[in-house]
Chain A
Amino acid sequence: MPRQAAAAVAAEAVMEVEEVGEPEDQEERWARLLPELLSEVVRRVEASGCERWPARKDVVSCACVCRRWREAAVAVVRPPAESGKITFPSSLKQPGPRESPMQCFIKRNKKNSTFFLYLGFTNSPMDKGKFLMAARRFRRGPHTEYIISLDAEGLSQGSHAYMGKLRSDFWGTNFKIYDSKPPYDGAKASSSGSSRRFGSRRISPQVSAGNYEVGQISYKYNLLKSRGPRRMYCTLECPSTQETWDNALKTKFRKPTGPTILRNKAPRWHEHLQCWCLNFHGRVTVASVKNFQLVAAADPSDPTSTVDEETVLLQFGKVDDDIFTMDYRQPLSAFQAFAISLSSFGTKLACE
């Protein structure tokens, strides 16, 4: 139904800007629309209630009609760093917004070891949301891997929807994030699992079987040993926020941005409450060792570098038995935020 509504809006937009012709010619005109008119049509579709999901799928529909429609749609739609909106699957590997975080939530299915990431329709994670990505945990010998996919059903490396994976060492203290696509032009693939077969499905030759390392996460005990929250360090190759975007899908040439280093914000000990506290601004409501906030950390190898150590770039925490909020902002992408959050489930490092 919404798609027909979008078609009707688009039709009205065209009728306004063009003279109405004979009924038999009307449909022919669609194939000959000028690019400026096409852009205007898509702009109106976006403005007429398609700014938020689930209605936003109509914008994606516009981009899937033919090449000229696609060019118009991806030129009108701005990437998440500019617009604060997720539109295409490619938005998931682009940096998040700068000013205020993208509010998402994760639902866990313990039985199947699967996790589903949603973009919240509203502030409340108890409401429905737009499905973004799914992950499933697999044991691969001494490692545990979380396969991340666009398709809630097709969770394998051979699938077309494969986004990347998180891989942990045996003890669950060190993790690596792998992207199915190069994070910048000219990046080298790592040798992890590039020729694996998953289950009974052979990897299609058209699907890139490479994996590119884009991050590392390590968990350590607090110096106070078990009497404090664990420490997290992340080193990430983040997508660039500086480059000009040709359109919502690509930039001219993607350069590496160098390592972005994050650590978890240290909670404060409240003597009177006898607990460690972090201000999650209402987005986390259940105490859990998994909860964390990540802020930028200075590069230890560059003593002159200064970073903003106050702004929380990724916040993750429990609100219900199997529901967790995940709020992220640039330079992180949704994919990286999801992978880091998954490591919080994967680490065996517990504490009191």
Chain B
Amino acid sequence: FCEICLTNNCDGSAGKIATMIALVSSDNERFEVSEEAASQSQTIRNMIEDGCADGGIPLPNVTSSVLAKVLEYCNKHAATTTPDAASTEAVIGSAGTRAVLGPARHGPVVLRAVPCRAAGRRCPEGCRLDEGQDAGADQATFKIENDFRPEDVEKIRKENAWAFEE
């Protein structure tokens, strides 16, 4: 097991010191992952490139148990260039929570279930690993494409923002 790239089949090409990025779950647990693994999410990649990742990247909508499973997925696929686009993995977390990871345009989408009332019951709630707008979160939850015309997107975003204004 290679401590640097966090895989079992390290080929030594990561002999250079890999940069570690800290991801902080909603319950304040820090996860150190390689930059390569974390960069599978476009949002995190942008933050790294813009130099915003120094203090650790907070992920307020992901708990530590879910994040651990997600990072397992990321680490597995960091070594390959293109993750299998069709694959969807279901991962069972602890305490009856269930994380379903699916591919998305910009890195894995975490479909997170709140603790289910009965084991095996589907609760299609979700959040992205990267932050989306409110409409985006609903789209991620239900896997619906945003098909608004470009000229309408801004107006609709404003409408949604107004509805949520305190």
Contact = CB atoms under 8 A, between A and B. Distances in A.
Q: Answer yes or no: are A and B bound together in one complex.
A: yes
B162 A31 contact: no
Contacts of B134: 3, 61, 64
A31 B145 contact: yes
Given A11-B123, A30-B142, A31-B142, A65 B135 contact: yes
A245 interface: no
Nearest to B124: A11
Contacts of B123: 8, 11
Contact of A7 (B90, B125, B162, B165): B125
Interface stretch (B13-21, B51-59, B65-73, B150-158): B150-158
Contacts of B138: 3, 7, 61, 64-65
Contacts of A66: 139, 144-148
Contact of B90 (A8, A23, A64): A23
Nearest to B159: A89
A160 B159 contact: no
A301 interface: no
Contacts of A23: 90, 100, 122
B85 interface: no
Contact of B166 (A30, A31, A131): A131
B147 to A, nearest CB: 5
Contacts of A61: 134-135, 138, 160, 163
A334 to B, nearest CB: 13
B7 interface: no
Contact of A89 (B141, B142, B144, B162): B162
Contacts of B155: 160
A314 interface: no
A132 to B, nearest CB: 9
A18 interface: no
B28 interface: no
Contact of B139 (A56, A65, A150, A152): A65
A131 B139 contact: no
B105 interface: no
Interface string A37-78: 000000000000000000011001101111101100000000
27 contacts: A3-B134, A3-B138, A7-B125, A7-B138, A7-B141, A8-B123, A11-B123, A27-B141, A27-B142, A30-B142, A30-B143, A31-B143, A31-B145, A56-B163, A60-B160, A63-B159, A64-B134, A64-B135, A64-B138, A64-B160, A65-B142, A66-B139, A66-B147, A89-B158, A151-B161, A160-B155, A160-B158
Interface of B: 88, 90, 100, 111, 114, 122-125, 134-135, 137-139, 141-148, 151, 154-166
